[in-house]
Structure 1
Amino acid sequence: MRSEKSKHTFEKWVVTILLIIGGLIVSLPFIWMISSSFKPESEILQMPPTLFAENPTFDNYISLFTTMNFGIYLKNTLIIVALSFVGLFFNAMAGYGFAKFNFKGKDKTFYLVLATMMIPGQVTMIPVYLLLNEMGLINTMLGIVLPGLAAAFSIFLFRMFMATIPTDLIEAARLDGAGEFYIFFRLIMPISKPIFAVQGILTFIAAWNSFLWPLIIANDESLYTLSVGLSLLKGQYANNFALQMAGAAFMVIPIIIVFSLFQKYIVEGFTTSGLK
């Protein structure tokens, strides 16, 4: 018994040490990026290189908003994120409708939605661009946001999750006089917190990192996003690596914060999906 217990303890320590080493190796580029963002331009090029800044400074982050127009890029990105979350609620409503309502052509319509997932986004860019051009939405914020409000994958996930919610619960709420919007916002949404958390993070990441479509639609720099601004930063300040690291860190850190806040709901979503 003691030998088996000792063996189990030894294996546990070995696995823990290996995980720590692996975590440090994976985290090293991220640590280097954060540290380099606080280095002066002269220090980041010195040999041998230093892992942590010897003379930390916030000048690189200040330069992003003074030398570059990162304030405008940030505002545009936040607008896109906010409107994308509006689209998230539309997708949730569509998923709820496919899961709990019966209407003519329901299955065929849902299969049509699924079929759009097989079409690469690059294929639809030109037709969507031409449609938006006819509507006069080129070089507008609405033109950037509108095509991304509906997402087939998001509708599919919401539909699959909400199909597991007992219909009797919804019928009981209707018998009590609850309206459909009341049922959705006060009953369905609280039950669907895990899938909302997962889809919320995916929506935030997609909107925060939006690059190609804003670059195509926007002709004015005042409509550029952070990702487009970061690409401009790499072009205009190709030799200023500290400034580039600051821009990259500014892009990555909010995603890590959002993931950390909603991590509990993501794990809950995976656990619930596994049980079902």
Structure 2
Amino acid sequence: MTTHPRHTRALLYVARHCVLIGVCLALLLPLLLIIGMALMPDDEALGNNLLPHHIDWSNFGRVIGLFAFWRYLANSLLYSGLSTIGVLISSLPVAYALARLNWRGRENVMLIILATTMLPTAVTSVSLYSVYVNLGWIGTLKPLIVPTFFGDAFSIFLLRQFLRTIPQELIDAARVDGASELGILLRIIVPLAKPALVAVALFNLVGTWNDFFAPLVYSGANEEAWTLSVALSQFTQLQRGALYNLQMAGTLLLAAPILAVFLFAQRTFVDGITLTAAKR
């Protein structure tokens, strides 16, 4: 008995989507457990229950009230916001020079920039810490923000690849009309590179918002300089108890802003990645 091609395609369609649904459920399971723990009352949080029998929405308000939530949130916003601005301002001109200006040694410089991405963070941590100690920046947000205004290798590479997809004729026409390189960058490149800029901004926002190592190291013992991720890691110690439900509620509060930003800009983000990958 032979199977009709239409039936075969239908079975393959169902099988493929069943696999995708199973993978999505597996990926969402940790999030569902976090939400369940965040909504548990205190007595259930210390038990073996995976889901709450009684939902306690007040856990989110308790997290905000038990420690300086708004101060740590402001530090995270300051760190992520200024870092993203710094990366965009510093990386775009470098990417434009590497993609659209002809000068000797351009490819060698690009190789050196890419080589810096191969250095693990642990290799440069001690030397950078010594520099920031001498500058008196330890215990502040300066070591987290100031370096971003000197460029980021991955962002430069991503923007360079995108800028290479822009037709050279547009740039040549602007030069013929007397536009300066800065004018070309601001009036032609920036509007056309919006998807790539959004992609770079989102990559940096997610990275800095979730960053734990650098804020923990450079903030030192100064609690005023803690970001929200560092403060939540110290939440149990600060409150002298195993408040797992409140920790999970704080985790959801930490993830909510960046999730909202990603959902709002996801279409532009995907366009930026797709168009960048199209140029090889």
Q: Structure 1 length as normaliser, TM-score? A: 0.88
Aligned pairs for 1:155-234 (under 5 A) are 155-219=156-220, 220-234=222-236
Question: Matched residue pairs, number?
Answer: 274
1:128 correspondence with 2:128: yes
Letter in 1 for 2:6: K
Aligned pairs for 1:85-104 (under 5 A) are 85-89=84-88, 90-104=90-104
Partners in 2 of 1:275 and 1:163 — Cα distance? 10
Structure 2 vs 1, CA of residues 55 and 136 (structure 1 numbering), >3 Å: closer, same or farther?
A: closer
Residue equivalent to 2:20: 19
| Farther off after superposition, 154-163 or 232-241 | 232-241
Give the deviation of 1:95 after TM superposition.
0.8
Contiguous gaps of at least 5 residues in structure 1: none
Partners in 1 of 2:278 and 2:214 — Cα distance? 38
Give the deviation of 1:53 after TM superposition.
5.7
Give the deviation of 1:133 after TM superposition.
2.4
Residue equivalent to 2:246: 243
Aligned pairs for 1:249-264 (under 5 A) are 249-264=252-267
Structure 2 vs 1, CA of residues 234 and 184 (structure 1 numbering), >3 Å: closer, same or farther?
A: farther
Give the deviation of 1:207 after TM superposition.
1.0
Per-residue CA shift, 1:120-143, capped at 9, x if unaligned? 121111222222222232222222
Partners in 1 of 2:186 and 2:23 — Cα distance? 43
| Farther off after superposition, 60-69 or 241-250 | 60-69
Letter in 1 for 2:233: S
Identity %, equivalent residues? 32
Residue equivalent to 2:71: 72
Partners in 2 of 1:124 and 1:51 — Cα distance? 43
Partners in 2 of 1:118 and 1:20 — Cα distance? 36
Give the deviation of 1:234 after TM superposition.
4.0
Partners in 2 of 1:246 and 1:139 — Cα distance? 27
Partners in 1 of 2:144 and 2:264 — Cα distance? 28
Secondary structure at the residue paired with 1:118? coil
Q: Structure 2 length as normaliser, TM-score? A: 0.87
Partners in 1 of 2:186 and 2:36 — Cα distance? 44
Contact 1:128 1:147 in 2 (8 A): no
